[in-house]
Amino acid sequence: MDAQQFLTGVAQAVAGAAGRAIHPGGLRRRLWQTAAAFTGLITWLYQDAGQLDQASAWGTRTLELAHRAHDKQLVAHALTNRAMVDMDLGDGPTTVEMASAALADEKRLCAKVKVQALQQAAHGHALVGDRRACDQLLDRAGRLIDRIDDDHPWGVATKTPLYLEIQRATCYSRMQLGAEAVRLWEQVMPSAEWRNSGVFAARQASALADSRRPDEAVAALEAAVHVAEEVESARLRRELTTAWERLAPWHLAAQGQEVRALFDGIGLPTAR
């Protein structure tokens, strides 16, 4: 049984227990909250596996359970998770709309949920090339990051070292702001957790290619491929493909041949 199957079973069991609870009070509410937390994690697992239809379905289920729990924080968190799936689908306007919906009752939200929604809205604006809005949202999130003090078991990524710097670097890479993105990735990479380091290195490679530094881009891709050899992550493979596309001017050069050899080793196709 893999992690998705196990968590699915847990979520279904908890949701079933909530549905059978005799009293509609605190216990039932806590069970819906627990079920929503599990389904939110399942959403992310499917997203990382590149199964975006499943991720979208589980994201919708998470939102339903959060509403049944009557938990405003959890509803906003679920909306942000849905925005993450839309981001991976490349749908900037919907990403912005879902993240903005999460902020609809902003005054009643804890700092963690605000930060989650603000940075996700920034990603949506990055997808449509609106740097000004992207920076404004990330700056707003930055003023809240030190105020995160809740005990919710979900959304803990906001406590990752350099969390907002990672988000800004990713947004800048998406907008192909080469040199500025490179500077941020140089700040982020030394403290990156191993699994995430593959994704970050691939994004760094894209930024280096945008800055016309192909040799360094190849070195970053080599680091990313080492991670891809050990983990199954559609997210990582997608970032590797994006970096290859950014290296288009060097596809026929020595750097392109090096990347082809690296990608061949992990079965990642490149156009010939």
Task: Tell me the DSSP string of 26-82.
Answer: HHHHHHHHHHHHHHHHHHHHHHHTT-HHHHHHHHHHHHHHHHHTT-HHHHHHHHHHH
Q: Residue 178 domain-assigned?
A: yes
Three-state SS at 211: coil
Residue type, 100: S
Q: Residue 245 domain-assigned?
A: yes
How wide is the angle at C-alpha 255 spanned by C-alphas 249 and 261, nearest 5°? 120
CATH code where residue 187 lies: 1.25.40
Q: What is the pLDDT of residues 160-176, one digit of tens each?
A: 889 999 999 999 999 99
Q: What is the pLDDT of residues 231-240, one digit of tens each?
A: 989 999 999 9
Q: What is the pLDDT of residues 187-225, one digit of tens each?
A: 999 999 988 999 999 999 999 999 999 999 999 999 999
Based on the number of CB atoms within 10 Å of its own CB, is 165 exposed (0-12), middle (13-18) or buried (19 or more)?
middle
Q: Residue 210 domain-assigned?
A: yes
- What is residue 41's predicted lDDT score, i.e. its pLDDT? 87
Q: Are 173 and 165 in contact (CB under 8 A)?
A: no
Q: Residue 193 domain-assigned?
A: yes
Q: Residue 257 domain-assigned?
A: yes
Q: Residue 219 domain-assigned?
A: yes
Q: Which domain holds residue 259?
A: 160-272
The per-residue b/e assignment along 74-96, b for 16 or more CB within 10 angstroms, e otherwise, is bbbbbbbbbbbbbbbeebbebbb
Give how many domains the chain has, as a whole number: 1
Tokens 């890479």 appear where?
Answer: 173
Record the pTM. Answer: 0.88
Under the banding of pLDDT at 50, 70 and 90, the label for residue 1 is very low
Q: What is the pLDDT of residues 39-66, one digit of tens each?
A: 888 899 899 989 999 999 999 999 999 9
Q: Residue 269 domain-assigned?
A: yes
Three-state SS at 111: helix
Q: Residue 120 domain-assigned?
A: no
Q: What is the pLDDT of residues 68-92, one digit of tens each?
A: 888 999 999 999 999 999 999 999 9
